[in-house]
Amino acid sequence: MSLKVVDNSGSSHAPAHKRNPGYPLDLDWVERVRMNRSALERRAGSIGARRTVKKDYQLAWLLKAITLIDLTTLNADDTPGRVERLCAKARNPLRAEIVDKLGVKNLRILPGAVCVYHTFVKTAVDALEGTGIPVAAVSTAFPHGLAPVETKIADIEASVKDGAQEIDIVIERGMVLRGDWQALYDQVRAFRKACGDAHIKTILGTGELATQTNIAKASLVCMLAGADFIKTSTGKEKVNANLVTSLTMIRMIRWFNEETGIEIGYKPAGGIATAGDALKYMALMKEELGTHYLNPHLFRFGASGLLTDIERQLEHGLTGHYAADYRQPMV
């Protein structure tokens, strides 16, 4: 069986892309932002009903989805051994027989990144040497974001020094709830400076921001401050990624691009566990921002269990049978 799939050689590992330089805080623009939740819900509700892909096309989309995953372990009981096993899975995300049957051995199907706590950055960097897969580190007092700013900046600098190429920072949700946009801008700007050449993903903690308008304004302020990606959640909140919030954030990305010419990446995280979920988010990105956004330098899933289900779905597409989870172990 042979599938026509876009070659992701270089994965995040990405094509040349103009980085967000950051812009002055425009409070007039921030105050103009308004979101209609009812309209967002209607639009988001139409995605799964109207957009489906079947058979070989679905298999191709699922292979693409693998290249968009930030393969993640962020547990209190993480160990170097667990991180090394996760990196081994990142090196070979699909079993050899699936790759052979799909006829995609010549393609470089690799996840977008491996995401870990700072403690394990060096472990992951060593385990992924030679693959081109970047290591992302969660930082700035993840997941709550409540620590002195000096501590958070030191956290970023330490992860970058250990080899992290991407830093997922956490904003202070209280700044959004108070409408203290200057404080949020200044802090994200300082984090961006500390990242240096490492790309910065700003985690909004959207489930704790109360309204879609707050989420939209926080997205804009982070982009003005220089964020390379905006991200929904830490995965530790009661409410994580969903299509309504995603629509809010990607429409702010589109508006920002219309005003500045800069393309900002988007990362939904938390609760995305099935291949069906992944396809809905990919359809949303394609329709709202264009097919070129389905590349790892512009779109990622923050997920730990998603790859397991994608592998099961690919095997089902080939054999007509679902394999047990243990046949696709993560760690």
C-alpha–C-alpha distance, residues 282 and 270, integer Å: 16
CB-based contact 160:41 (threshold 8 Å): no
* β-bridge partners, 202: 169, 230
Note if 267 is an active site residue.
Answer: yes
Q: Check the CA dihedral 117-119-122-127 and report its sign.
A: negative
Note if 18 is an active site residue.
Answer: no
C-alpha–C-alpha distance, residues 293 and 19, integer Å: 15
Q: Check the CA dihedral 160-163-165-169 and report its sign.
A: negative
Catalytic option among 70, 155, 168, 277: 168
What the block records as the tokens of 186 is 């200044």
Angle between helices 181-195 and 212-224 (to 10 degrees): 40
In whole angstroms, how large is the CA radius of gyration of the chain? 19
User: Which amino acid type is present at position 50?
Assistant: R
Note if 231 is an active site residue.
Answer: yes
Catalytic option among 64, 231, 280, 309: 231
C-alpha–C-alpha distance, residues 13 and 197, integer Å: 15
Catalytic option among 64, 122, 267, 280: 267
C-alpha–C-alpha distance, residues 187 and 81, integer Å: 34
Cβ count near 10 (within 10 Å)? 13
Task: List residues with catalytic annotation.
Answer: 168, 231, 267
